[in-house]
Structure 1
Amino acid sequence: MVATEDSRAEPGGIDVSDPALYAEDRWQPLFEKLRREAPVHRCDDSAYGPYWSVCSYDLIMKAELDVKHFSNRADLGGIQINNIAPELDRPAFVSMDPPDHTPRRRAVAPIGNRQSLRGYDDLIRARTGALLDSIAPGETFDWVKRVSMDLTSMMLATMLDFPQARRHELMYWSDVATANLNAPEPLVKTEAERYAVLEEMAAAFKPLWDARKDGQGGFDLITMLANDPVTAEMSHVEFIGTLFLLIVGGNDTTRNSMSGGLLALHRNPDQYEKVKADPDLIPNMVSEMIRYQTPVIHMRRTALADTEFAGQAIRKGEKVVLWYVSGNRDTDIFEDPEAFRIDRPNARRHLSFGAGIHRCVGDRLAELQLRILWEEILSRGMRFEITGEPERIYSNFIRGFTSLPVRRAA
């Protein structure tokens, strides 16, 4: 697909990279316009430089699967619209192309297979039940911190065999890794600060890594990596990048879909009544929650050569941003996509986990955690009411929440 002429779409003044759009939850009309008028669209001027937006479902899938023309490589900028800072250029397998990507992903893939998940079911259910039982009728609390973060951090610590007493450090490292430095109240203010925190993360994991070499660990991600011939001797740079990937990947989808799902049910009480009457709808409701929330807003690729894509001339080295948040609202795929419908027939077609060789390794585990949460809530007849406005993350990469005030109905 080599471009023979410059057939670029007119910029039209639309820049969907502004994190404020997502913090203020006002991104929908811009993507609706782009899907209708310019599904592959070039923005010439943004805080992140020029970039191409891919906004429709089918074209996002096409680009996602085309590893010959569109690269994830860290040395070309990585997987976010903002290039990886030179001091943070730490390759993980999500920021690699084949053949480097394949064996590294294979090293951790067993954590998400069906046999492994059967072993986690009872543990997740026990933890979820205990947490829910600790919430008194009429109690007011922050759902993000009390439920979403705690349940997610417990499971992430289990997957890494990291001390449960320190599990909230995992949440902090994940938030630092993806923090926007220009947020109104930034978690870290410079790339140097981010670098220092990620070095602290590596220092915390190094003794665990060393102790699990030569098959001394159990069934956890660190043991898998420390004993796989491809990853056992990874560099310090790749070690940090891999930890970064596993912690962020094991955190954001589950944590933010737990919060976004509750908010969607609160705003659509008819859907809550529907699942209450028919709990068999829970698995499909979970898929709809993940579609509706879309916890990862975008993934970025870099063009490996001059390329014609959907009638547009994309040049070698240009950023190509796949806006999952737009694809999941595409009316060509999802009927009335702005509606939250727990019985949506094709909810599982959502783009939130990606596709192809870079599809999320932990997709089934995320679905399992969400399914069990709602099974346990409904089996107890619990209901939660939103008591204030949600506070959203200032980010164009992660669509999530910092706070969601709720009350357990008496």
Structure 2
Amino acid sequence: MNDRVAPDPYTIPLDRIDVSDPELYRSNRMWSYFARLRHEDPVHYCANSAYGPFWSVTRYKDIMHVESSHDVFSSDVAYGGVTLREGNAGLMLPMFIAMDPPKHDVQRKVVSPVVAPSNLAKLEATIRERAGKIFDSLPRNEPFNWVDRVSIELTTQMLATLFDFPWEERRNLTRWSDMVTSEEAYLSKEAEEERTAQLGEAAAAFLGMWNERVNASEPGGDLISMLAHGEATRNMSQEEYLGNCFLLLVGGNDTTRNSISGGLLALSQNPDQYKKLRDNPALVENMVPEIIRYQTPLSHMRRTALCDTELGGKQIRKGDKVVMWYVSGNRDEDAIENPNSFIVERPRPRQHLSFGFGIHRCMGNRLAEMQLRIVWEEILKRWPDKPIEVVGEPKLVFSNFIKGIEELPAIIRD
């Protein structure tokens, strides 16, 4: 966003500030907007936006309150779901993240074994082998797109394994995930038609996998088999099944993929921290949650008030849309010391909101952390003495939901 359309937020009347504009995120100009809201109006009402009126919750403690109060602030798709945009065919389907207890709890429980510690231990060797092959195949002394060659490839391989999806078609999973959350798809009629067609293709593929696996005599350990044979999910509607597939697809893709990219970018922007890491590779374990905090791969989650309530001294009315801006809470100076600094040795690095909190805390958080840990362990093994260099500006995603990176030009020098 250029200066003409993105003025200094301190020159705008407070009630006119709208942090939902996706262009703020593509241009990385949202930080000062959130800083002003945290200091002057931490529970802020935006009466006019492209997404309708909504409340912005920008401080860490208030976000934690909303996350913890699922009896007051609903995730249910019947009230609008978990994103600012309503009417998104991919995210307005019933899915367990967009359900309230008790249904949320029983559906989540069906698929949670795939990220149980015992299964993660089995996956670790596979992820390490794949990461090694990816790094060994990268070009030397010539720029390449880190997002495509590393971040997307590693996470797409993981998704293909979790879904037991045809290996040679695995990039479809990335494409479909991007379409589920795309904001650019709403910019033209042609883009919307393309998005509808792609989601239809995804739905047909997932329904085919259900039909194949529901009839298997021995259920597999993949996510589709778990849903097809789980007592609480085997009789779910087609819409609920597809909703859960899209949820697991996006959840398995975006957090890890954008944290892999965001980690390299953060280290390149903080060479002193990259040097600390190379001097002491044991810091990887501590750095991983710091990457996830600093990147904040999902900018927000939305709730709907089930009754009149008070939050931060403001009166929230029944039916109001309430948006928790994780991207702001993770930079809240009252909750996190030096929040705008990337610190590989940060004390209590898991004190962040990137995975949410409470009953909707990201189910795959440990899998995401494990993949990032392995990535950086394998990088430091191969390049202990010199950094992987970022050699151009990142291209950021046009979205107020996915805080992502589309392109990150990098080079590995001999």
What TM-score results when the alignment is normalised by the length of structure 1?
0.94
1:391 is aligned to: 395
Unpaired segments ≥5 residues, structure 2? 1-12
1:37 to 8, 25, 40: 40
Cα contact 1:334–1:346 (8 A) shared by 2? no
**In the alignment, is residue 285 of structure 1 matched against residue 298 of structure 2?**
no
Number of aligned pairs?
399
**In the alignment, is residue 262 of structure 1 matched against residue 252 of structure 2?**
no
Cα contact 1:179–1:188 (8 A) shared by 2? no
- How far did residue 85 of structure 1 move? 4.2
- How far did residue 230 of structure 1 move? 1.3
Deviations along 1:250-279, whole A, 9 cap, x unmatched? 000000000010000001111111011111
AA at the equivalent of 1:355: F
- How far did residue 163 of structure 1 move? 1.2
What TM-score results when the alignment is normalised by the length of structure 2?
0.93
- How far did residue 198 of structure 1 move? 1.8
- How far did residue 310 of structure 1 move? 1.9
Deviations along 1:113-168, whole A, 9 cap, x unmatched? 11111001100000000111112331321001000000000001101111111110
1:176 is aligned to: 179
Secondary structure of the residue that 2:16 maps to in structure 1?
coil
Partner Cα distance (2:333, 2:77) in 1: 33
Deviations along 1:271-319, whole A, 9 cap, x unmatched? 1110111111101111110000000000000000111122110001110
**In the alignment, is residue 12 of structure 1 matched against residue 37 of structure 2?**
no
Secondary structure of the residue that 1:12 maps to in structure 2?
helix
Flag as ranges the 4+ runs of structure 1 deviating above 6 A.
Answer: none
Partner Cα distance (2:196, 2:226) in 1: 25
Could you tell which deviates more after superposition, 47-56 or 228-237? 228-237
1:72 is aligned to: 75
1:102 to 97, 101, 105: 105
**In the alignment, is residue 226 of structure 1 matched against residue 251 of structure 2?**
no
Could you tell which deviates more after superposition, 118-127 or 227-236? 227-236
CA RMSD of superposed structures (Å): 1.7
Deviations along 1:63-96, whole A, 9 cap, x unmatched? 0010111001111111011113479731000110
1:25 to 24, 28, 33: 28
- How far did residue 396 of structure 1 move? 0.2
Cα contact 1:215–1:223 (8 A) shared by 2? no
Partner Cα distance (1:119, 1:87) in 2: 31
In the TM superposition, what are the counterparts of 1:69-218 in structure 2 within 5 Å?
A: 69-85=72-88, 89-181=92-184, 189-190=191-192, 193-213=194-214, 214=216, 216-218=218-220
Could you tell which deviates more after superposition, 288-297 or 11-20? 11-20
Partner Cα distance (1:217, 1:161) in 2: 12
Is the alpha carbon distance of 1:188 and 1:171 closer, same or farther for their aligned partners in structure 2, counting shifts above 3 Å? farther
Identity %: 51
Secondary structure of the residue that 2:350 maps to in structure 1?
helix
Partner Cα distance (1:23, 1:204) in 2: 31
Cα contact 1:183–1:394 (8 A) shared by 2? no
Partner Cα distance (2:223, 2:90) in 1: 25
